Amino acid sequence: MAPFALLLALVAQAAAQPAWRTIGTAANGRVTAYDPASLVRAGPVTRVRLRFTDQGSYTLSTVELRCATYEARVIGVVIYDPNGTELNRNDMSTPFRAILAGMFLETLARELCGAVEGPAGQ
């Protein structure tokens, strides 16, 4: 591959990689981050992609937030080994539930929604 073509390929690959923004550690000890580039606001729902990292393996998930009512739900979960091989996939959607104080979703909601209503339990 010509040096210029290689450079273009590396730039394209780097551009395709999410710039994960860490929001803390989940209750199970996994580091939690979201991809700001995945953020989509559609009416009352804000959708964003999350990554949970634990000892090299990681999980990708999509979360939907209802900022006005401080609720969230999970849409699908995919678990990968440290090499990026898919280990398990669940395409389920949970119902919307109140975002509880002290949970990583509270940090995410405060960052993406602001302190609209605040979490349950305050």
Q: Residue 38: is its pLDDT beyond 70?
A: yes
Classify residue 1: in a domain, yes or no. Answer: no
In angstroms, rounded to a whole number, what is the distance separating the alpha carbons of residues 48 and 73? 11
Identify any residues that bridge with 47 across adjacent strands, giving them in sequence order.
Answer: 40, 64
Classify residue 4: in a domain, yes or no. Answer: no
Identify any residues that bridge with 40 across adjacent strands, giving them in sequence order.
Answer: 47
Q: Residue 12: is its pLDDT beyond 50?
A: no
Q: Please tell me the total count of domains within the chain.
A: 1
- Between 14-18, 26-30, 64-68, 118-122, the lowest mean confidence (pLDDT) is in 118-122
What pLDDT is recorded for position 5? Answer: 46
Of the candidates 81, 90, 103, 43, the residue with the CA atom closest to the CA atom of residue 62 = 90
What pLDDT is recorded for position 16? Answer: 55
pLDDT tens per residue across span 58-104: 999 999 999 999 999 999 999 999 999 999 999 999 999 999 888 88
Find the distance separating the first CA and the last CA of the chain, reported in whole Å.
59
How confident is the prediction for the chain on average, in pLDDT? 83
What pLDDT is recorded for position 91? Answer: 94
* Residue 30: domain span: 18-112
Classify residue 59: in a domain, yes or no. Answer: yes
CATH of the domain at 103: 3.10.450
Classify residue 13: in a domain, yes or no. Answer: no
In angstroms, rounded to a whole number, what is the distance separating the alpha carbons of residues 11 and 62? 26
Classify residue 46: in a domain, yes or no. Answer: yes
Classify residue 53: in a domain, yes or no. Answer: yes
Q: What is the pTM of this model?
A: 0.76
Classify residue 55: in a domain, yes or no. Answer: yes
Classify residue 65: in a domain, yes or no. Answer: yes
Written as six digits, the tokens of 38 are: 């995945």
